[in-house]
């Protein structure tokens, strides 16, 4: 039996799994499997998709799951939609654990867009040396940009199609402001591209961009299905405990 299914390989998902296991809760954490060597949470772990909302609903029923916490990345649209539909179908309580988005501050030069395609069209007008931190799966949106030079930071090597003038940096956060500032300076970066992932693990690049006067193209978060939502692990633990305690 899995009392709680935690969806996502985020830091919040790992912290939640650890807190639940410490309380004696039977937890299964589900990871998408898109990273070759993910950081694994404590407790049971499954890797790979469920086969859509129907497959997830079957899994919840077969495992006697009492609650689902969607702690996926803010841009993980597909699994978020599947979780909402499967929870509704099975009557399983669903919580969305979503870190707050980033907020623009004094000195920031941010340009908001809705998609990576819009970001690709914009960067071609903003600068010549672009730092892409939007994930390896989104690099294809920039493949048609033949003029700028790109530095793309990814956890795993990207697959084509890719921008023709591209250097890939394989690295994983967290990062420091000093390190990010040096990276922007040494590579002569004049535009930064990021998704509004939120959290502290990669926010140093935004501070570095502010310090160096580098404009930032920020992709807005996609809409997610309605669900009860909390912003921190402590509140998620309280919600789960209230479901299980009776």
The pLDDT tens digits along the chain (246 residues) read 889 999 999 999 999 999 999 999 999 999 987 777 788 999 999 999 999 999 999 999 999 999 999 999 999 999 999 999 999 999 999 999 999 999 999 999 999 999 999 999 999 899 999 999 999 999 999 999 999 999 999 999 999 999 999 999 999 989 999 999 999 999 999 999 999 999 888 999 999 999 999 999 999 999 999 999 999 999 999 999 999 986
The encoded tokens of residue 158 equal 């990207």
Burial class (CB in 10 A: 0-12, 13-18, 19+), 244: middle
Axis-axis angle for helices 77-90, 52-62 (nearest 10)? 50
* pLDDT value for 26: 97
- Whole-number Cα distances in Å, 32 to 8, 47, 193, 238: 7, 6, 24, 26
* pLDDT value for 226: 92
Closest-CA residue to 170 (of 30, 78, 37): 37
> What is the C-alpha separation between 65 and 124, in angstroms, rounded?
48
Phi, psi dihedral angles at 118 (to 5 degrees): -65, -40
Burial class (CB in 10 A: 0-12, 13-18, 19+), 20: buried
Domain with CATH 3.40.50.720 in the chain: 4-100+223-244
**What is the residue-wise DSSP string for 19-42?**
HHHHTT--EEEEE---SSSPPPPS
Q: Which residue has the tokens 């305690």?
A: 245
CATH topology of domain 4-100+223-244: Rossmann fold (3.40.50)
- Whole-number Cα distances in Å, 239 to 16, 26, 224: 11, 15, 20
Residue 164 — left, alpha, or beta (φ > 0 → left; ψ -120 to 50 → alpha)?
Answer: alpha
3-state secondary structure at position 230: strand
* pLDDT value for 38: 84
pTM of this structure? 0.92
CATH topology of domain 110-219: Rossmann fold (3.40.50)
* pLDDT value for 35: 74
> What is the C-alpha separation between 103 and 18, in angstroms, rounded?
29
């Amino acid at each position: 039996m899995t009392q709680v299914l935690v969806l996502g390989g985020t830091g919040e998902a790992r912290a939640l799994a650890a807190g639940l296991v410490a309380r004696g809760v039977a937890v299964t954490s589900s990871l998408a499997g898109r990273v070759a060597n993910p950081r694994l949470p404590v407790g049971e772990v499954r890797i790979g998709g469920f086969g859509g909302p129907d497959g997830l609903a079957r899994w919840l029923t077969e495992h006697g799951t009492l609650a689902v916490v969607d702690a996926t990345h803010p841009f993980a649209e597909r699994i978020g939609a599947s979780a909402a539909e499967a929870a509704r179908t099975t009557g399983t309580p669903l919580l969305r654990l979503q870190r707050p988005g980033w907020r623009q501050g004094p000195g920031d030069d941010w340009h908001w867009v809705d998609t990576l395609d819009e970001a690709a069209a914009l960067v071609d007008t903003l600068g010549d040396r672009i730092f892409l931190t939007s994930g390896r799966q989104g690099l294809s949106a920039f493949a048609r940009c033949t003029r700028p030079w790109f530095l793309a930071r990814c956890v795993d090597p990207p697959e084509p199609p890719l921008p023709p003038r591209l250097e890939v940096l394989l690295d994983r956060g967290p990062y420091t402001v000093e390190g990010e500032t040096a990276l922007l300076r040494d590579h002569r970066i004049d535009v930064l591209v990021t998704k509004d992932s939120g959290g502290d693990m990669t926010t140093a690049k935004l501070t570095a961009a502010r310090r160096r006067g580098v404009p930032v193209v920020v992709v807005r978060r996609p809409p997610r299905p309605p669900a009860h939502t909390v912003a921190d692990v402590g509140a998620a633990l309280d919600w789960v405990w209230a479901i299980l305690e009776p």
